[in-house]
Amino acid sequence: MTPRTKNWIRSNRTALIALAVLFPLTFGVMGYREWHDSYGEWPTSPVKVQAGDNEGGVFWGEVQYGPAGQYARATVPSGAQTVLLHLSGRPVDEPVACEVLVLRETGGQRRSWEPAMFALDLPEQIEERTGCDAESGGEFQLVVPFVLPADATGPFALDVEVPSITPKFLRFDASF
């Protein structure tokens, strides 16, 4: 190095150290913010819930299972299991929003299935409802259809998202 370069480095030492620290730090903070904005609100941590538990501002009932083969539409593959899960809830104080995410096979092949809306022709007295509305209030009943392959053996769990407790979500035993 020439004496002139050494003098320039010495005279700008503080700025160069700040640049060496702040430049990567800036990209780290920007990357974290982008990641958090995109993925930070996803439900990632299950909370196991039993009937009668108060989680997410709701007293939850038991998941009830009902075969729904008699309601299956022609588009359901032959040999598939069609099931209708019922889950009741009663808000503790104020209305709560919630949404069924998936039915998960917790053993076996560990697969998951989303609600099969429009896979069943349900009678008028049974209303498909995959979520609870924060504006309606009062007790609610989730009625969620699923189409499972014939080789799905379980045990099963029903995952429900309550936005007020995200990134946690509720996991109910739904073995049938």
List, for residues 38-95, the tens digit of each pLDDT value. 776 777 888 999 988 998 889 999 998 877 767 777 677 778 888 889 899 989 888 8
Does 174 score more than 70 pLDDT? yes
pLDDT at residue 14, as a whole number: 92
List, for residues 101-116, the tens digit of each pLDDT value. 899 998 888 899 998 8
pLDDT at residue 45, as a whole number: 85
Judge if the upstream peptide bond of residue 67 is cis by omega within 30 degrees of 0.
no
Closest by Cα among 61, 111, 127, 118 to 88: 61
Sign, Cα dihedral of 87, 58, 55, 101 = positive
pLDDT at residue 32, as a whole number: 86
Q: pLDDT tier at 120 (50, 70, 90 boundaries)? A: confident
Would residue 108 be called left, alpha or beta, if left means φ above 0 and alpha means ψ between -120 and 50 degrees? left
Q: CB of 133 within 8 A of CB of 84?
A: no
Does 27 score more than 80 pLDDT? yes
Q: pLDDT tier at 129 (50, 70, 90 boundaries)? A: confident
Q: pLDDT tier at 171 (50, 70, 90 boundaries)? A: very high
pLDDT at residue 112, as a whole number: 92
